Amino acid sequence: MKSTIKSITLEKILIFLFVAMTGVCICLVVVYFTDKAASPTHPEGCGGPQELSGESGTFTSWNYPSNYDNGKSCTWDITVDPDKVIHLWFEEFALEDTQLCIADFITLRDSLGIIGKYCGYTKPKPVVSLTNRLTVFFDTNDRKTDQGFKAHYKALDPKLTAEIAGAGGFLQGDQGDLMTPGFPEKNYPNGALYQWSITVPEGERVQLTFTSFDLVPEVCGDFVQIYDGNKAGSSLLGKFCGGAMPKPVVSSNNTMVVRFKSDNTLTSKGFRANFLKSSLPPRTTTTPPPTSSGSGGPIILQGRKGVIQSVGFPNPYPAHLNTMWKISVPKGFLVKLQITDMAITGETGQCKEDKLVISDSYSVLGTHCGYILPPLVVSASDTISVTFQSDSRLTDRGFSAKWEAVYPEDIGEIHGCGAFSREATGIITSQNWPMNYKANAECMWNIALPLGKKITLTFTHFDLEAKDILTSKCYDNIMVYDINSPFCGTKLPSTIQTKGNRLLIRFHTDLFTEAKGFRAYWTTNPSLPAPTEPPVQPNPWDDITIDWPRTCGKPVIPPNVVSRIVNGEPARPHSWPWQVSMQVWPSSRPEPTFFHTCGGTLIHKNWVLTAAHCFIRYADELQRWRMCLGKHNLTFTEPSEHCFNVSGIYRHEGFQYPTVPTVEFDIALVRLDGEVTPSDEISFACLPSEEEVLPGGKKCYATGWGDETGDSLNAKVAEALNQVALPVVPYDTCKRMDYWWFQVKTSMICCGYTLPDELKSVCQGDSGGPLVCQVTEGGPWEVHGITSFGPIGCIMNKKPSVFTRSSAYLPWIRNVIRRDLYNEHTSGCGGPKDLTGTGGTVSSMGYPGSYNNKARCQWNIQVSTGKIVHLQFHNFSLEESQMCMNDKVSLSDRIGNLGTYCSHVPPEDLVSDGNTLRISFSSNDKVVDTGFTATWRAVDPTDAPCGGSYSSAQGEITSPNWPSDYQAQSVCTWRITIPSAKSVHVVFTHFELQAVNMFGNCIDYVEVFNGESRFCGFAPPPLLTIPSNTVVIRFLSNGANQQQGFRGYWTTDAICHSPNHRLNNTKL
């Protein structure tokens, strides 16, 4: 029995360790710490005076608010009047963050020694000194820097200490009490510093007695120190932590200092103590009974939506809680409950006294603790219960959750799985069937039929995580009510018949092992044939042919693959010609500056294969990326290199890291903004055969510019490309509990060595970079893996590197490329994207029915040279929004914007400048309308409804309807081309347009191209001189607040600038 208990305990420890390791080192770099001398020397001054002696003052890190320098040691000595103490606080704080503050840090020292050491990005709480002196040290190492800090100090009356710091102060007299704030009802806060200076009459000694004492025991992160006086050199009488009651402490004189500090992790109840002069007899005290919160019965909540939180959230919850919420929604609805924040003492899946329990009238829906957010749940009826319990010891922030009433018909959409049905027969499958189901998910099927009907449930396929050997629990399971017994494993459950007219099925999965899932069907008449799924509708792009490269996997410059070097080695230049350096322009740089961040593999003239996690940031900002081919050394530009911009980034839809702690589906494709021309230094890798699985021991090569420093906090890419040979570790080995266990999936490849003396450094590879293998000797190199994750550190025993297995994703790769090819040539609203000829029609999808949510449509119209495009909207009805932020039609031509429209009024007829016109239509995910239909035709420039093309040396321009108000939603363009002119002058004599909006933007405006100027409001623009023989003037108006408009003229005559100058031509 003892052996079994030890095994269970071992498994719990392992589960905790694996959950903790879900923040895997994506870039495969190692963490290490550099010891620094405990007592560094501090040269005087650092960007300001060393001695600060005023009543108040401010000081900052060197260069603030720019980054501070490396290798600095700075000191500030603060002194105020002798009868005052010092209040110090930080306005801004951003230092390199390390676990033990061993890199860049602030140290505070008073007369008794160090009172605090701070780093990271959380501002320290305000500090109040014991005396009128305080010293601040700032030390930086020689690696990473950050913005630094800005601090203030002020002389303070000692009586105000508790008000500023939250507790502490100066206690005088024969006897008294001290305690942490809120004791015993509230836990003390994190990051606290409280100091009590106790003074009894001269000739007496201070006797301190604790009456209650409950601090967090772990490594004495929270502690009480007691000093024999408040002067420099006063000895330490004791340091206490944990839950054991300290013995009474007596000073050698009439003063004593009690200092309490807490770290930034867990908290507990705190302490209470009393002091008295030594000549008095000890006080007798009784410990009050523990308090209880929420014991007065359940909290009843009714309505359509709401929020529930633990007591005091986001501050630590009290001890001895037992709070229940009973939530009811109107009849016919169900309750959706989503935990939005959770920090409850305990380990995920191993909850003890502190826990959050969710249940409905059928069953317990989950018991939760720790920090990983559970999936949202939906009740099977109109009520749900939430119970929160805590013990007398450690606490954390607690939880916050939101609830709302939902329709039963929306179950599938809410969960992403499950359904509500009143049909007599139907099919049920696990999510992603027949692929592996998702981890950490809840699904529910609620089948409700007329009274008198009974339902038969039959499983046709069943493959769930097996029952735990030690606990016999089904961690992934199906519950069928009224059976009330969980199903798991691979044994097909027997046919089930309900007792009544309702069938309720719940499918729960935990964070760990997934399997293929299940398929079942229900029916009211088992004698009828079993239902079948409708055939999968083909995509319109399924038959598009992909023009794969004719030659792949054959480098012109062969790699060196016969070396027996144990760790990674420099690659022969350009011997891995499909290697891509993915480079990003970070938002911290105002000007485009690109840095290598990930590797990739060139598999097609337009496509790069890489890892989805490379795009956790900037996935939607294509301009921040470029793909560089033909690279070997990253420190300079090479003749062979060719860098492409990016026209599309496609991450696998199943990739959810870091939202969920798994790096499954870690694959992405990048569309290059151009076509690759192969060369000796640039060519393609081959793709493997579909679902090909390499045998254990097969040697493959990972390449990249991976980190060479071994410092994850200051990782530095290699200058030149490296390679490393790695043998395949069989899946059955890699999924063992002492290897990667539940983290590794069948869609991954493990590569590395299993013996410590054979370990190789996978730091030589990049995230997203290739793992290539030759299936046959001398055969082409195939990209079998995409570098995904590894241990926290480059090398760890039984933790091989893990790669996304590309052969598992070949259908996804082909589908993405085909869909992109299809979208490249189709509008998105039906029909082709590129339109040519003399005329045609465009409309939103489904017109005259409603258009779709999240629509993205585009048409590129091109007519014959010398013609322009005339566009006329016949019907137009889009969701209206301010500044057209929701659904909209945008028009543009060769010189720019022709307006953005969203209303129920068709825009006025317009023409393009030049022979091309682009129409874009987009909608959000909310309200839809009937959309639009429009016709376009090729016309001569003289047929423009307003504006036009002119070549005379002077002429007049006026807004439509001048001198009456101009029309809403108008666009007019004047193109003036005077071959003999060297410059053209534009003068406005009258100008009244809608003023700028609240954001300072012009809504109705005149834009002068080549002069690149935009004008609105009531002030006439200044004289405009365009140093060219061509000028284009465009006028746009929106749908509201029309004004009189404008009148102006152009001329080539330099003296013809007076507003009263009479033009000898007709108004145009």
Q: What percent of the chain has pLDDT over 90?
A: 42
Residue 782 CB partners (closer than 8 Å, separation 6+): 553, 685, 686, 687, 688, 772, 773, 774, 775
Cβ 43 vs Cβ 731: under 8 Å: no
Amino acid at 370: G
Distance CA 774, CA 686 (A): 10
pLDDT at position 225 over 80 = yes
Distance CA 146, CA 1064 (A): 67
Spatial CA neighbour of 29 closest among 715, 496, 487: 715
570-601 tens-digit pLDDT: 899 999 999 999 999 988 888 889 999 999 99
pLDDT at position 549 over 80 = yes
Distance CA 1021, CA 986 (A): 9
- Residue 280: pLDDT band with limits 50, 70, 90: confident
Q: Mean of the pLDDT values across residues 714-719?
A: 69
Spatial CA neighbour of 897 closest among 1034, 776, 763, 1055: 1034
Match 């749940």 to its residue by tokens. Answer: 377
Amino acid at 459: F
Average pLDDT, the chain: 84
849-873 tens-digit pLDDT: 999 988 889 999 999 999 999 999 9
Name the least confident of 159-173, 704-718, 766-780.
Answer: 704-718
Q: Give the pair of three-digit tokens for residue 479.
A: 């519950």
- Residue 707: pLDDT band with limits 50, 70, 90: low
Alpha carbon 237 to chain centroid, angstroms:
49
Q: How far is CA 463 from CA 491, 493, 1065, in A?
A: 8, 11, 86
Distance CA 1068, CA 1064 (A): 12
3-state helix/strand/coil string of 570-621: ECCCCCCCCEEEEEECCCCCCCCCCEEEEEEEEEECCEEEECHHHHCCCCCC
Q: Mean of the pLDDT values across residues 819-833?
A: 87
- pLDDT number for residue 875: 93
pLDDT at position 710 over 80 = no
- pLDDT number for residue 292: 29
- pLDDT number for residue 15: 45
- pLDDT number for residue 1064: 41
pLDDT at position 78 over 90 = yes
Spatial CA neighbour of 368 closest among 393, 392, 338: 338
Phi, psi (degrees; rounded to nearest 5) at 808:
-80, -10
> H or E stretch including 468?
none
Distance CA 731, CA 695 (A): 9
Name the least confident of 84-88, 668-672, 786-790, 954-958.
Answer: 786-790
Q: How far is CA 557 from CA 770, 780, 788, 998, in A?
A: 18, 13, 27, 62
Q: Mean of the pLDDT values across residues 166-188?
A: 86
Cβ 518 vs Cβ 489: under 8 Å: no
Compute the Cα dihedral for 111, 115, 119, 125 and give only its sign.
negative
pLDDT at position 728 over 50 = yes
- 461 bridge partner residues: 519
Q: Mean of the pLDDT values across residues 794-813?
A: 87
Cβ 1037 vs Cβ 968: under 8 Å: yes
Q: What percent of the chain has pLDDT over 70?
A: 88
Residue 296 CB partners (closer than 8 Å, separation 6+): none
The torsion of the CA quartet 148, 26, 684, 771, rounded to 10 degrees, works out to: 140
pLDDT at position 471 over 50 = yes
- pLDDT number for residue 682: 97
Distance CA 576, CA 1040 (A): 61
Spatial CA neighbour of 985 closest among 945, 1028, 1025, 1045: 1025
Alpha carbon 331 to chain centroid, angstroms:
38
- pLDDT number for residue 1041: 84
- pLDDT number for residue 46: 65
- 426 bridge partner residues: 522
DSSP 703-723: EE--BSS--GGG--B-SB-EE
Match 């007829």 to its residue by tokens. Answer: 909
Instruction: Out of 33-37, 72-76, 246-250, 266-270, give the one with best mean pLDDT.
Output: 246-250
Residue 466 CB partners (closer than 8 Å, separation 6+): 488, 489, 490
Spatial CA neighbour of 175 closest among 272, 273, 311, 90: 273
- DSSP classification of residue 391: -
Q: How far is CA 837 from CA 756, 868, 939, in A?
A: 70, 12, 11
Residue 1000 CB partners (closer than 8 Å, separation 6+): none
- DSSP classification of residue 9: H
Q: Are strands 441-448 and 419-421 parallel, antiparallel or unpaired?
A: parallel
- DSSP classification of residue 22: T
- pLDDT number for residue 27: 35
Phi, psi (degrees; rounded to nearest 5) at 624:
-90, 0
Cβ 319 vs Cβ 309: under 8 Å: no
CB-facing half-sphere around the CA of 290: CA atoms within 13 A? 14
Instruction: Out of 107-116, 184-193, 561-570, 908-917, give the one with best mean pLDDT.
Output: 908-917
* Active centre residues (catalytic): 613, 666, 767
Which domains are seen in the chain, by residue range?
51-160 (2.60.120.290), 168-277 (2.60.120.290), 299-406 (2.60.120.290), 412-523 (2.60.120.290), 569-817 (2.40.10.10), 826-942 (2.60.120.290), 946-1051 (2.60.120.290)
DSSP 827-848: -SSSSBSEEESSEEEEE-TTTT
- pLDDT number for residue 11: 43
Cβ 212 vs Cβ 319: under 8 Å: no
C-alpha distance across the termini of the chain, in Å: 101
pLDDT at position 370 over 90 = no
Distance CA 484, CA 85 (A): 67
382-427 tens-digit pLDDT: 999 999 998 877 778 899 999 999 888 888 888 888 889 999 999 9
- pLDDT number for residue 800: 87
Cβ 858 vs Cβ 833: under 8 Å: yes
- pLDDT number for residue 302: 86
Q: How many CB atoms lie within 10 A of CB 797?
A: 14
- Model-level pTM? 0.55
- Residue 275: pLDDT band with limits 50, 70, 90: very high
Cβ 917 vs Cβ 894: under 8 Å: no
Residue 434 CB partners (closer than 8 Å, separation 6+): 461, 516, 517, 519
Exposure string of 230-259, with b = 16+ CB inside 10 Å and e = fewer, is beeebeebeebbbeeebeebebebbbbbbb
SS3 651: strand
Q: Mean of the pLDDT values across residues 731-752?
A: 86
Distance CA 198, CA 89 (A): 24
